[in-house]
Amino acid sequence: MNRLLEVENLGVNFKTYGGEVKAVRNVSFHVDKGEIVAIVGESGSGKSVTVQTVMGLIPKPPAIINSGKVLFEGKDLMTLSKKQLKKVNGSKMSMVFQDPMTSLNPTMKIGHQIAEVLIVHKNLSKAEARKKAIEMIKLVGIPNAEERYDQYPHEFSGGMRQRAMISIALACSPELLIADEPTTALDVTIQAQVLELMKDLKTKINTAIILITHDLGVVAETAERVIVMYAGMIMETSSVDAIFNNPKHPYTWGLLESIPDITTSSEKQRLIPIEGTPPDLFSPPIGCPFAPRCKYAMEICVNQMPPDFEIDEGHTAKCWLNDPRSLGAEEILELRGRGREREASTN
Amino acid sequence: MYILKRLGAMLLTIWIIATLTFMVMKFIPGDPFATDADVYPEDVLQNLRAAYNLDKPVPVQYFLYMKDLITLNLGTSIVSDTRTVNSIIGSGFVASATVGLLAMVVAIVFGVLLGIVAALNHNKAIDYVSMVIAIIGISIPNFILAPLLIKIFAVDLSLLPVASWGSWKHAILPALALSTTPLAIVARYTRSSMLDVLNQNYMKTADAKGLSTYRIVLQHGIRNAILPVITFIGPLFVSLITGTFVIEKIFAIPGIGRYFVDSIFNRDYPVIMGTTVFYSVILVVILFLIDLSYRFIDPRIKLTSKEG
Amino acid sequence: MMNKQADQDLFRPVDPAYYDDKEVFRPSLSVWKETVLSVLKNKLALLGLTLLFLIVTLAIVGPMMAPYGGSEQNLMNTNAEPSSEHWFGTDDLGRDVWVRTWLGARVSLTIGIAAALIDLIIGLIVGGISGYMAGRGKKGDQIDGVLMRLVEILYGIPYLLLVILLMVVMEPGIKTIIIALSVTGWVGMARIVRGQILQLKSNEYIQAAEKLGTSTPKIIMRHLLPNTMGIIIVNLTFTIPSAIFAESFLSFIGLGVQAPLASWGTMANDALGVILSGHWWRLFFPGLMISLTMFAFNALGDGLQDSLDPRARK
């Protein structure tokens, strides 16, 4: 069995003064050993909440997990005690956060922050942990590893800190690495380096990676499979090829249209944003959550939640357009009187 | 380099305080012996004034005063002319320091503890209860609390001595009364600092690393939360010094604070001036030490770096 | 046939205006409204506000509720326990403690509020000028530098120590206490105002307003002041109780208001000698009132701080 992680029917709410926010609804997906899966979506789509729930990092309260299973190597993490979960976290499953500037403890030496994981999970002695930590610092491409071991985070640049974060996450050679927008806070050139590093380490350590991002460019370069999330739900999931060549959800089309295209940069090309904002998750629409922003919305979209239509093996899309009864997308656009031609989604 | 700069600033502050004290005292209409005019004959008064340099022009007086300060001679009491300010401070120091330091330790240890426990139980009953206790602690002035403590523990329960000075038992009630307000302030300060730290991303990292709760709270949480609390020791110290004025009076402790209040009452100007300067020096030195230790403890601040 | 018709209806494109009147997106509350709402929701702040209202009311009408004058002595009825005649008992001169407590409240509250207001005004002016001038050419930096040196020096001197010195040489009385408290009290406020202004100045909207040629007074009135208001109000709720504490502290060590005027501090001081003889009411009532007043202001300040802090808001 190659399945590493299986999330079934996950639902997470947040209790606030204004009521309960339905942050994640009915989310199911899986990750196989050694593969890179990307979760894509705009801010507030529930990507971070989903993976933090998987890691058991979501604070309860205010969060309430109202349904779902998280099977990791066949064991349901939801049924584990806090203590048992701590044995998994950081050793078999680890996480890299978005902002390397604030994710490291400012008053602890970088080396200690790496060695700490080894001491806790691998029962290494202090000296052994130090040796291994220095190896890790070298592995993630930080020069002068021994000297760097004794430095504090403020002596590191943003990219170097993210490398340090990655070395913490990979110190125990985990089966699964969750990277929550690991490059968003970095300069573009550093971004590429960090992604390259992660891909490289993935082959060295054979770790599966969940990569959270809102940048489809990053997805195209790194991931093997893609999950598109919107308003706390999975809209479309498929292989990277299918997402770029045969997307089946208007939200995915929108995301693709908003990628800058370098190949046609000679002409002045405008990015096409998805108009509108995500719906209020206090009382999400009964029908498709994307319908209010969708150019192709139909009566049924307003009133009925679309099921996951299977397009191909491993490719599903939660959109009524894929129902055999539906009209084609072009026809709908014409009928809605907008006539604006959809940009080819296959650019 | 930084230390030298700070030392310079320290001396400047002490000089300003001493000058200010001198000027304030010169604002007094007449001289300290004006009220004794009917008691003593003119030539005795003349001698007294000469003894205290009051017959010389003000700039000369200032110069002599500064010269005395530099040689650590704080002057002689007018009321009891056999006692020098130095001997008063010397004899009161042990009692004052005992009560003050005891109160300081109690305030910091229990204040930090209370603040951390409250923060770790944020928005739960323990949090609310500790913070209400803290506000009450801030609200009750020590000169109200002290008599109350005497009434309960010394008079009604007869557990501890009512007042005066002698065995360790005499220090308990004064230290307790003195520590309440600073304790409450430290607790509030620690709580908000700890809450701030708990919300930091690196705490989430620590959790994701699968560290034990003990390790997360102690090594990653408290260490960072306690740093800003150190800067609070300065103001805490000031509040303790002023607190000793009333506490030593209420408990009849022969400390510097009580001599100071008595000197105010008797308008014993050399003692008032001398004690004020002494307090200021102690305070400035403490502030300097705190600043220094902070820079030593927090790796983000280097001693070589510029101010701020 | 029927089914097909139904399907066609279902899959008919929806009118683009369909969602226009639906509340898919949540309207946001104005900051001010949200603040008032959350203050009212904060039980502690509400308790503080209620207590303050009660204390102020009693300070105004309390002395009139009993048929005695504040310094009216009755040597036939000294140190009487609280009773229906004398609600808070009498002191060693037979004066009514209830009346004296509320007369003392007037003194304490007047001093506290007046000193805090003077602190506020001086602090606003010095802090405002300093913050505004900083970074405005060489001259601006010099003005800021001089003012901040002054603030630093005053900040380095223990507040109560200086006040004590001043009180020693000045004529005792309410005015003197207010002056002595304000001589150094404004320093804290000036630091806060300056810090706020400096922080606001770096905001892009202020820089934009400046580049667009908005006049300086208008920038101060429209942008800087409203945005510092919150922190100033919170600070005020903390300076008033500390001024009240300072007053009762001074009165307690014999430097405050002089007889026959009563303040909570002098009453507590007078009662000190008799606490052992069991005349608890003479210390208890003024002590309780100082504590309640301080509690009320602190609770209100805490509540306000929570509601004005966007990080604390949920």
Per residue of chain A (347 residues), give pLDDT as tens. 588 888 888 888 888 766 778 888 888 888 888 889 999 888 778 888 888 888 888 877 777 888 888 888 878 888 888 888 888 888 888 888 888 888 888 888 888 899 888 888 888 888 888 988 898 888 888 888 888 998 888 888 888 888 888 888 888 888 888 988 887 777 778 788 888 888 888 888 888 899 888 888 888 888 889 999 988 888 899 888 888 888 888 888 888 877 766 555 444 555 666 766 777 777 777 888 888 888 788 888 888 888 888 888 888 888 888 887 777 777 777 776 644 444 444 33
State the nearest Cα–Cα gap between B146 and chain C, in angstroms. Answer: 10
Closest CA to B93 of B256, B230, B203: B256
pLDDT in tens, chain C (314 residues): 456 666 667 777 776 666 655 554 555 555 566 667 766 777 788 888 899 999 999 888 888 877 777 777 777 777 777 777 777 777 777 788 888 889 888 988 999 999 999 999 998 888 888 887 877 778 888 888 888 878 877 776 777 777 888 887 777 788 888 888 888 888 888 888 888 888 777 777 777 887 887 777 787 777 777 777 777 888 888 888 888 888 888 888 878 787 778 888 888 888 877 766 777 778 888 889 989 999 999 888 888 777 776 544 43
Residues with Cβ within 8 Å of residue C213, at least 6 apart in sequence: none
Give the count of beta carbons closer than 10 Å to the beta carbon of residue A240: 19
Q: Using alpha carbons only, what angle is made at residue B54 by residues B48 and B59, rounded to the nearest 5 degrees?
A: 160
Q: Do A105 and B207 touch (CB under 8 A)?
A: no
**What residues form DSSP beta bridges with A208?**
A176
pLDDT digits (tens, 9 = 90+) for A89-105: 888 888 888 888 888 88
Cα of C231 to nearest chain B Cα, Å: 17
Give the SS3 label for residue B184.
helix
User: Tokens 């031609």 appear where?
Assistant: A341
Residues 243-282 (A) with a CB less than 8 A from some CB of C: 277, 279-280, 282
User: Which of B207, B210, B219 has the CB atom closest to A121's CB atom?
Assistant: B210
- What is the residue-wise DSSP string for A137-172? HHHTT-SSHHHHHT--GGGS-HHHHHHHHHHHHHTT
Prediction pTM value: 0.79
ipTM metric? 0.78
Residue indicated by tokens 């983000």:
B300
Structure confidence by residue, pLDDT tens digits, A163-205: 888 888 888 888 888 988 887 777 778 788 888 888 888 888 8
Instruction: Please answer yes or no on whether A117 and B209 come within 8 Å at the CB atom.
Output: yes
Give the span between the Cα atoms of A46 and B16, in whole angstroms. 60
Flag if C168 and B272 touch (Cβ within 8 Å).
Answer: yes
- Subunits next to B (3 or more Cβ pairs <8 Å) are A, C
Q: Where are the domains of chain A?
A: 3-223, 262-346
Characterize B87-99 residue by residue with b for buried, 16 or more Cβ atoms within 10 angstroms of its Cβ, and e for exposed.
Answer: ebbeebeebbebb
Distance from CA of A250 to the nearest CA of B (A): 35
CB C244 within 8 A of CB B139: no
Answer yes or no: do A168 and B210 touch at CB < 8 A: no
Domain A3-223, CATH: 3.40.50.300
From chain C, the residues in CB contact with B13 under 8 A are 153, 156-157
pLDDT of residue C117: 92
What would the two tokens of residue A297 be?
Answer: 């919305």
User: Minimal Cα–Cα distance from A57 to chain B, Å?
Assistant: 7
A62 upstream amide cis, omega within 30 of 0? yes
- CATH number for the domain running over B85-297: 1.10.3720.10
Question: Integer distance in angstroms from the first to the last C-alpha of chain A?
Answer: 37
B306 in contact with chain A, both atoms CB, cutoff 8 A: no
- Is A124 in contact with A132 (CB distance < 8 Å)? yes
How far is residue C148's CA from residue C150's CA, in Å, rounded to a whole number? 5
- Select the residue of B17, B139, B245 nearest C253 (Cβ to Cβ): B245
Put simply, whether A71 touches C (Cβ < 8 Å) is no
Instruction: Report the alpha-carbon distance of residue B251 to residue B272 in Å, rounded.
Output: 21
Residue B85 sits at the chain C interface (C-beta within 8 Å): no
